[in-house]
């Protein structure tokens, strides 16, 4: 993943200084890679020891793919190396050094759903103002955040970083690398409930992001969330004084005035810190409107022109597995197979209810919800009134199947797929959604091979 750099991302001397490592020869690199298969020529291959594999096994492959150098903790052959005591720690050292040398405005994004979506909206919006770098994919964990920062171009004017967690203390650690000027919480919802037990605890864990704010930094909160006041109280405790909100409540600093459907997306009217905005966003849904408000509020508090930034958002497109539309012959698939929790399920079902043709919901398990899981699954029944056909897969979805008459049920997505392909007809819109582990992509593949596309 090479960002477009004007000067090299790192010189060997800089890496030596940051990591206290030793370079075998002078070199420069244009980016970093931890997967040798995805490495671009000229990048630094970082050999991380994972749970199953040790990245040192793939240094030969990295050099075959023209790595500029390899960052290692054992001796390897094939090209220039920098040897450090521990590669994960060295990645963190580089992250801190990248952050320290940057004069950019930094935005950190967390929340139970919508982090990547909001990060991508922020990236488009801030690009209207200056060179913007955003972390790749969903790189939001103990290696993803340092990796993203270590890839941060020195010239960038803005940096957008996704920060995730499934335990207390995780965000506290990650935000210490990011040190954002603006911390945005997208939403609080029952995700990872298995560990946390309740949403108050989830809000508290997300609030750790405020601990890493730069002095004078901004906390941006989702005003329509029932946990907004708890987030505010936590931010205040931490000493944050600039606390602003986005959403549809009258008091919001970024306030939604209206949202209506527009060509493959939404047109929203809003007031961002007193400034009227009229924007088309190239993806549908109330959750996209909320994420957009948060992003435009970030632009505004960063001193940017929210109107100019908003003008870029027609180019936003729903992301793969998170609302991307797939035309397969004469049917339309809404691909929501990447993840699911009660909040994103409700958002996606609201979208389906407005879709053309017969509305078919194909839902897989929402994972990691703990003891409340049966109730949370059964509770989706209230949001399925508009669906013409409902297909459910997985042991958790059994709780919904039990209370929903007329739904077709199978133990897993592979067994469900033929039932779906048999029932779907030309003109239907088919929402396919579930946690990644429920493997709902199997259904999408089956629909594609049946209908084409």
Ligand X SMILES: Nc1ncnc2c1ncn2[C@@H]1O[C@H](COP(=O)(O)OP(=O)(O)OP(=O)(O)O)[C@@H](O)[C@H]1O
Instruction: Output the known binding site for ATP.
Output: 111-117
Among 61, 131, 138, 173, binds Mg ion (CB under 5 A): 138
Total residues found in the chain within this entry: 453
How far is residue 13's CA from residue 25's CA, in Å, rounded to a whole number? 10
Q: Is 438 in the site for ligand X (CB under 6 A)?
A: no
Q: How far apart are the first and last CA of the chain?
A: 28
How far is residue 379's CA from residue 400's CA, in Å, rounded to a whole number? 7
| Residue with smaller CB distance to ligand X, 246 or 409 | 246
How far is residue 97's CA from residue 75's CA, in Å, rounded to a whole number? 25
Nearest distance in Å: CB 287, ligand X: 4
Give the interface size with Mg ion as a residue count (CB under 5 A).
3
| Contacts of Mg ion in 104-123 (CB under 5 A) | 115-116
| Residue with smaller CB distance to ligand X, 44 or 107 | 107
The sign of the torsion formed by the CA atoms of 212, 186, 127, 151 equals positive
Q: Is 348 in the site for ligand X (CB under 6 A)?
A: yes
Q: Is the Cβ–Cβ distance between 79 and 69 less than 8 Å?
A: yes
Q: Is the Cβ–Cβ distance between 45 and 35 less than 8 Å?
A: no
How far is residue 80's CA from residue 91's CA, in Å, rounded to a whole number? 17
Residue 187 contact, options ligand X, Mg ion, none, Cβ 5-8 Å cut-off depending on partner type:
ligand X
Give the interface size with ligand X as a residue count (CB under 6 A).
23
Nearest distance in Å: CB 131, ligand X: 23
Among 28, 339, 373, 429, binds ligand X (CB under 6 A): 339
Q: Is the Cβ–Cβ distance between 98 and 150 less than 8 Å?
A: yes
Nearest distance in Å: CB 304, ligand X: 21
| Residue with smaller CB distance to Mg ion, 21 or 321 | 321
Stretch that binds ligand X, among 80-88, 111-119, 306-314, 424-432 (CB under 6 A): 111-119
Helices (H) and strands (E) in the chain, counts: 16, 22
Give the three-class secondary structure for 26: coil
Q: Is 344 in the site for ligand X (CB under 6 A)?
A: yes
Among 73, 102, 186, 312, binds ligand X (CB under 6 A): 186
| Residue with smaller CB distance to ligand X, 102 or 245 | 245
- Write the CB contacts of 177 (distance below 8 Å, at least 6 apart in sequence): 92, 95, 96, 99, 145, 146, 149
E strand or H helix at 393, and its extent? Answer: strand 389-393
Among 207, 291, 300, 399, binds ligand X (CB under 6 A): 291
Q: What is the dihedral of CA 11, 12, 14, 19, to 10 degrees?
A: 140
DSSP state of 322: B
Among 108, 247, 323, 434, binds ligand X (CB under 6 A): 323
Nearest distance in Å: CB 372, ligand X: 18
DSSP state of 198: S
Nearest distance in Å: CB 339, ligand X: 5
Q: Is 347 in the site for ligand X (CB under 6 A)?
A: yes
Q: Is 248 in the site for ligand X (CB under 6 A)?
A: no
Q: Is 396 in the site for ligand X (CB under 6 A)?
A: no
| Residue with smaller CB distance to Mg ion, 83 or 116 | 116
Nearest distance in Å: CB 100, Mg ion: 26
DSSP state of 358: S
Q: Write out the binding residues.
A: 111-117
How far is residue 435's CA from residue 446's CA, in Å, rounded to a whole number? 18
Q: Is 287 in the site for ligand X (CB under 6 A)?
A: yes
Interface residues with Mg ion (CB under 5 A)?
115-116, 138
Q: Tell me which residues touch ligand X (CB under 6 A).
A: 111, 113-117, 138, 140, 164, 186-187, 287, 290-291, 322-323, 336, 338-339, 343-344, 347-348
């Amino acid at each position: 993943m090479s960002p477009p750099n004007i000067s090299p991302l790192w010189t060997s001397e800089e890496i030596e200084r940051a990591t206290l490592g030793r370079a075998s020869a002078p070199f420069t690199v244009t980016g970093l890679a931890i997967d040798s298969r995805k490495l671009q020529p000229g990048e630094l291959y970082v050999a991380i020891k994972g749970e199953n594999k040790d990245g040192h096994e793939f240094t030969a492959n990295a050099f075959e793919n023209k790595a500029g150098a390899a960052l290692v903790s054992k001796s390897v052959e094939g090209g220039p190396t920098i040897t450090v005591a521990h590669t994960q720690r060295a990645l963190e050292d580089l992250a801190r050094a990248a952050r320290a040398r940057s004069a950019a405005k930094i935005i950190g994004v967390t929340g139970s759903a919508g982090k990547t979506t909001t990060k991508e909206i922020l990236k488009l919006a801030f690009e209207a103002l200056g060179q913007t770098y955003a972390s790749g994919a969903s790189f939001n964990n103990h290696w993803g955040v340092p990796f993203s920062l270590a890839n941060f171009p020195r010239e960038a004017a803005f940096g957008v970083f996704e920060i995730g967690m499934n335990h207390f203390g995780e965000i506290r650690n990650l935000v210490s690398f990011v040190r954002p000027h603006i911390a945005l919480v997208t939403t609080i919802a029952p995700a990872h409930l298995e560990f946390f037990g309740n949403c108050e605890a989830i809000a508290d864990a997300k609030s750790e992001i405020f601990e890493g704010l730069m002095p004078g930094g901004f906390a941006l909160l989702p005003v329509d969330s029932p946990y907004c006041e708890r987030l505010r109280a936590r931010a205040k405790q931490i000493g944050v004084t600039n606390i602003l909100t986005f959403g549809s409540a009258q008091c919001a600093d970024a306030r939604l005035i209206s949202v209506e459907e527009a060509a493959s997306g939404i047109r929203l009217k809003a007031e961002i810190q007193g400034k009227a905005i009229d924007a088309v966003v190239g993806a549908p849904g109330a959750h996209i409107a909320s994420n957009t408000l948060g992003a435009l509020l970030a632009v505004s508090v960063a001193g940017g022109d929210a109107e100019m930034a908003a003008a870029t958002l027609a180019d936003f497109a729903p992301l793969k597995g998170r609302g991307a539309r797939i035309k397969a012959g004469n049917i339309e698939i809404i691909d929501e197979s990447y993840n699911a929790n009660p909040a994103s399920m409700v958002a996606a079902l609201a979208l389906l209810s407005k879709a053309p043709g017969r509305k078919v919901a194909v839902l897989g398990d929402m994972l990691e919800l703990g003891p409340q899981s049966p109730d949370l699954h059964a509770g989706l029944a209230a949001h399925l009134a508009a669906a013409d056909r409902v297909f459910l897969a997985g042991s958790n979805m059994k709780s919904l199947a039990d209370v929903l008459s007329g739904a077709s049920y199978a133990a897993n997505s592979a067994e469900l797929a033929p039932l779906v392909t048999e029932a779907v007809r030309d003109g239907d819109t088919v929402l396919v959604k579930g946690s990644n582990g429920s493997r709902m992509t199997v259904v999408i593949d089956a629909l594609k091979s049946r209908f084409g596309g």
